[in-house]
Structure 1
């Protein structure tokens, strides 16, 4: 399933949504020149962008988009393995789904299910004005 905004970071980094549900969101991102640091490995910032995008969309699946915006409040990431090419997959699952905040666990793995990065992202559920 492709839900890509060509004129955004999601589009620039070629992120794709694979599975969208209220309790699990899966997306992929290629590892290549757009997502590598100068040493030729996956840039930690690209992993964090993938993780926050997954948490944002997962939050959006749990709120009324006519009334609320999902907004990142805090994110952390531990980069546990390097990756030079291929595809990484982010899987977001909830730690907490509240009325005004949500906390997501995001595991980023490679094609062999090896853990590349683990992240936790706290999202605010902000009323639209």
Structure 2
């Protein structure tokens, strides 16, 4: 748990960002795994279902955070490809995303992200690839 707290402390503030607006909370963070939650309320499409784009934002957030931990100080993780398959809908509650590393290289990293509802049913499977670059001041 202290590794997660240390990793989160090293991340920039989310105040005023899309993550804050969507209610995303990262609860576990390491280079090989990240877990976060997001409410369905406020992140729906007009028919009352969790918006597919919201699931994609959660997936990219978790994978990018884990990639940044892997990249380390002085480097930045930037998403270069995201794909998502939506399996079922959610109308309420909180969804949980779990990003698991598929490849941790020196310049590219890939994660599979599974988004589930409160009953553990898979809503979305996403895959994210990030490039690791030198950070610019």
**Superposition TM-score tier, normalisation by shorter sequence:** over 0.9
SS, match of residue 83 in structure 1: coil
| Superposition TM-score, scaled by structure 1 size | 0.93
Asked if residue 116 in structure 1 is aligned to residue 101 in structure 2, the reply is no
User: Which whole-Å CA distance do the structure 2 matches of 1:73 and 1:22 have between them?
Assistant: 18
Residue number in structure 1 paired with 2:44: 36
Asked if residue 58 in structure 1 is aligned to residue 66 in structure 2, the reply is yes
User: Which whole-Å CA distance do the structure 1 matches of 2:32 and 2:75 have between them?
Assistant: 18
Q: Give how far 1:22 is off.
A: 2.1
User: Which whole-Å CA distance do the structure 1 matches of 2:39 and 2:109 have between them?
Assistant: 27
Q: Give how far 1:5 is off.
A: 1.3
Question: Which structure has greater helix proportion?
Answer: 2
Runs of 4 or more consecutive aligned structure 1 residues displaced over 3 Å after TM superposition: 1-4
Q: Structure 2 unaligned runs (5+)?
A: none
User: Which whole-Å CA distance do the structure 2 matches of 1:123 and 1:26 have between them?
Assistant: 17
Residue number in structure 1 paired with 2:20: 11
What is the aligned-residue RMSD (CA, Å)? 1.5
- Alignment coverage as a number of residue pairs: 127
